[in-house]
Amino acid sequence: MEGICGRKGDRMIKKWYRVQKLKAIFILALAVIFTNAVVSYSNTVKLIYNQQGVIYSYEVVTQLQSIQSTLKDTETAQRNYLITADADDLKTYLAAYQQTNSNIQILSKLTAQNHQKQQWISLLEPKISNRLNILQQEIYLRQNQGFEAVRQRILSDKDKQIGKEIQQLIHDSLELEQNLLQQGMQQSQANSQKAIVTFFIAAVVDLVLVGLLYDLLWRYIRQLQQTELALRQSENRLRAMIDAEPECIELIARDGTILEINAYGLAMLEVESADVLIGKPADAVILPEYRAAFADLHKSICQGNKGTLEFEIIGFRGTRRYMETHAVPLCNEFDGTFIHLALTRDITQQKHAEQKIREQAALLDVSTDAILVRDIHNQILFWNKGAERLYGWKAEEAVGKNVLQLLYKEISPQLEDAYLKVMKAGEWRGELHQLTREGKVIILESRWTLIRHDNGQPKSILSVNTEITQQKQLEAQLLRSQRLESIGTLAGGIAHDLNNILSPILMSVQLLQKKLPDSQSQQILQTLENNVKRGANLLKQVLSFARGIEDKQTIVQIQPLMAEIEQIIVQTFPKSIICQTDIPKNLWYVRGDTTQLHQVLINLVVNARDAMSSGGILRIAAENLVIGEHSAQINIDAKVGSYIAIVVTDTGMGMSSEVQQRIFEPFFTTKEVGKGTGLGLSTALGIIKNHGGFVNVYSQVGRGTQFTVYLPASTFRDTHSLSLELESVTGDS
């Protein structure tokens, strides 16, 4: 019994142990199932969380890059508008401005639940807003005050510092998010592998629970599918955003082949399908002369750097474009290599506009006219090379100055009238007197054109000025010659009639001298005869001036003639007048009348004496001179050839410009009544012109006067007969 009981007890004990063992196995199985379920669920949740983190980081990176790109577009369009004032550039700027604000709002919503990201968003957003406000202020300043008003502001360190701070914040944020994105992808891969291993371990450990594990696996797979669907949807959204970008976006592999390209890039390269480009070299459409630079840029990007490059391409349909690319290393691929992300924009219109501006500026600089632009406040905005040559001021010296203070002595009524007319009618044309840098007054033919803003308000005034100083001087000389010729003709007629009147008077006086022998009558008649002869001599001078002198001309040596004049000055002029001479021995000869030339020099030195009543210096000089075409154009009476210039200079009272214009008129004199006839200079001018010469006068009130007589030098053919004529003169004497 004891054995049976013992055996039964053993069986009961064994059964109990089996039950306990089964319970333990069941409990262990439940524990394993629960553990596997917990582990699988935990891994799945981690995977989903990591995938969401990856998507979230990717979206943040995308928005940061979009903000960086659109902000640069905003600045580029704003700068273009500041330079060109083109309405299209302003539209581009406004669109980029709105896009930048939109991207900032999207980024703010994305990071609303992340306290750390909200902190740097709170740093980034006011800086961008401040930057956009500065850009808007510069546009306002450009529209109201012109480009020069904003140029210094554009170049200011404050402007550059804000841009650098924004770029640094975006760069730091991108770097942080890209690191988080990379870590999330690696963690997601590790979690996925761990979940699969756990699943297979659970299947091996407990095949009985395959149904439950299958259910768990099915749930896990469904979650993976949902995650994949979310990733695919996110990828589609990202693709739609990239395709909507108005820039060519490319992903380029380390070997230089294209991995991805957006829709705008396909249109830019003139292809319909990405299959044509995927796997092909990225520099296939780049012009050969730019490929080396593009290769260097790609190499630098693969080393983790950023870069920018401008180049030209020819699309598959033959269109040539200027491009600008901004390249960055995006992230690591699974094999550890870098992806070259290139954002490329079409800058063809910008390049053409810049070329057009350069061509227009070159044309303005080639022009011989002075071309300048000033705003409505008379501040100079543009100053071409012709203006530099005419006025003497360089462009950098003139731009920004007030044109009225720079070019005018005073504001004349004519200038005010011109300004009113151009503001009213839009244009004005007339003559102006302006100043050069040296203070010289020049005469200009000026054409003004009013330039308006798009809204019709006056913007600036374009002036095209042509110097006509020489032309006006020639016109004045011509008019003076015509006036003298008319006066000479009139004076000749009057002198002829007076001479006819004086002839019988002189004959009657001579008859009366014979019939009235008493001394008182003789004295009266002698006085009468002297005055009649003096009047006859005066009329002879008038006739000589009016008809011209046609006496016999010979070869004349100027040196002895001037030496004789010097002797007369020393012997007869007051001692308070110092005579200085400069007469070279190698003077050329002239063909003329010695007596008449003597009369010219006497008239000039006598006038010089009368101008120095308190004494002074009388200087007589002569030189050989050859007049070229330029000098001949300045003086209407001058001709190209060889001349002898005789200069008579005094330090007397001088003459005003009004007096200088009339000194050669017959009977015009500034001397007191009875001290001058007004025929000396007019007769001298007639003699000089009869000899084929001309005379120039320079005088300043209180500083003296200088007469320069130009007489044509005798040609070399005349020198052959010179010795014979001199011998004949010597023989006659």
pLDDT at 400 over 80: yes
Last residue of a domain, one of 221, 240, 259: 240
Q: How does pLDDT run across 42-66, given as a tens digit for each residue?
A: 666 666 766 676 676 777 778 777 8
Q: Which helix (H) or strand (E) holds 466?
A: strand 458-467
Q: Are residues 680 and 555 located together in one domain of the fold?
A: yes
Residue 481 lies inside a defined structural domain of this protein: no
Backbone angles phi and psi of 145, in degrees to 5? -125, -5
Q: Which residue has the higher pLDDT, 203 or 602?
A: 602
Give the residue numbers spanning the domain of 132: 12-240
Residue 670 lies inside a defined structural domain of this protein: yes
Q: Beta 589-592 vs 641-650: how paired, if at all?
A: unpaired
pLDDT of residue 723: 45
Residue 479 lies inside a defined structural domain of this protein: no
Token pair of 285 as six digits: 């459409």
Q: Are residues 558 and 592 located together in one domain of the fold?
A: yes
Q: Are residues 616 and 662 located together in one domain of the fold?
A: yes
Q: Which residue has the higher pLDDT, 108 or 329?
A: 329
Q: How does pLDDT run across 638-689, given as a tens digit for each residue?
A: 888 899 999 999 999 898 888 888 787 766 777 765 455 567 787 788 888 8
Residue 473 lies inside a defined structural domain of this protein: no
Q: Are residues 251 and 235 located together in one domain of the fold?
A: no
How many residues does this entry show for the chain?
A: 733
Q: How does pLDDT run across 301-340, given as a tens digit for each residue?
A: 888 888 898 888 888 888 888 888 888 887 655 555 667 8
Q: How does pLDDT run across 575-611, given as a tens digit for each residue?
A: 999 999 998 988 999 988 887 888 888 889 988 998 8
Q: Average pLDDT in the 170-178 region?
A: 74
Q: Are residues 348 and 374 located together in one domain of the fold?
A: no
Q: Are residues 526 and 654 located together in one domain of the fold?
A: no
pLDDT-derived band at 1 (thresholds 50, 70, 90) equals very low
Q: Are residues 249 and 234 located together in one domain of the fold?
A: no
Q: Residue 19: which residues within 8 A CB-CB, separation 6 or more? A: none
Percent of the chain with pLDDT over 70: 74
pLDDT of residue 483: 66
Residue 480 lies inside a defined structural domain of this protein: no
Average pLDDT, rounded, for the chain: 77
Residue 359 lies inside a defined structural domain of this protein: no
Tell me the pTM.
Answer: 0.35
Q: Are residues 87 and 138 located together in one domain of the fold?
A: yes
Q: Are residues 339 and 399 located together in one domain of the fold?
A: no
Q: How does pLDDT run across 412-458, given as a tens digit for each residue?
A: 888 888 888 998 888 999 888 888 998 888 888 899 999 888 888 89
Residue 655 lies inside a defined structural domain of this protein: yes
pLDDT-derived band at 11 (thresholds 50, 70, 90) equals very low
CATH code assigned at 439: 3.30.450.20
Q: Which residues of 330-367 are buried (b: 16+ CB within 10 A; e: fewer)?
A: beeeeeeebbbbbbbbbbeebbebeeeeeeeeeebeee
pLDDT at 72 over 90: no
CATH code assigned at 589: 3.30.565.10
Q: How does pLDDT run across 505-530, given as a tens digit for each residue?
A: 878 887 888 888 888 888 888 877 77
Residue 32 lies inside a defined structural domain of this protein: yes
Q: Are residues 201 and 270 located together in one domain of the fold?
A: no
Q: Are residues 459 and 586 located together in one domain of the fold?
A: no
Q: Are residues 504 and 636 located together in one domain of the fold?
A: no
Please name which of 74, 76, 61 lies closest in space to residue 101, comparing C-alpha atoms. 74
Q: Which helix (H) or strand (E) holds 330?
A: strand 320-332
Q: How many domains, the chain?
A: 5
